[in-house]
Amino acid sequence: MEKYDVEVLEIKGEKIETWRFKINTDNKNSVKLLKEIVDYINGTNLKIVIDPIDEIFANIYLYPQEIFTPIDREFFIERINKIVE
């Protein structure tokens, strides 16, 4: 079972696949993996939103302006599953 939720949102008539997962910001390894995701996203049309839950946990939302490529999916799945172990 994957450790993230996938939801298809409709924004201005456009369907956008959104991935959501929770991160423990006190876990240095999780934060390092999140930084890898942010570095990967920089320079692409992918977006990330960090939504704090409390002082320790935050929900992370990843969404493309188009559809995630298989390479994007593989990269995110590998890191997200390690982040939320």
Per residue in 73-82, pLDDT (tens digit) is: 899 889 988 8
Average pLDDT, integer, range 37-50: 86
Q: Is the pLDDT of residue 1 over 60?
A: no
* Full-model pTM: 0.76
- 22: domain CATH number is 3.30.1370
Q: Which domain holds residue 37?
A: 5-83
User: Which residues, at least 6 apart from 64, have a Cβ–Cβ distance to it below 8 Å?
Assistant: 16, 17, 45, 46, 47, 72
**Helices 70-83 and 28-41, packing angle to 10 deg:** 160
Tally of domains in the chain: 1
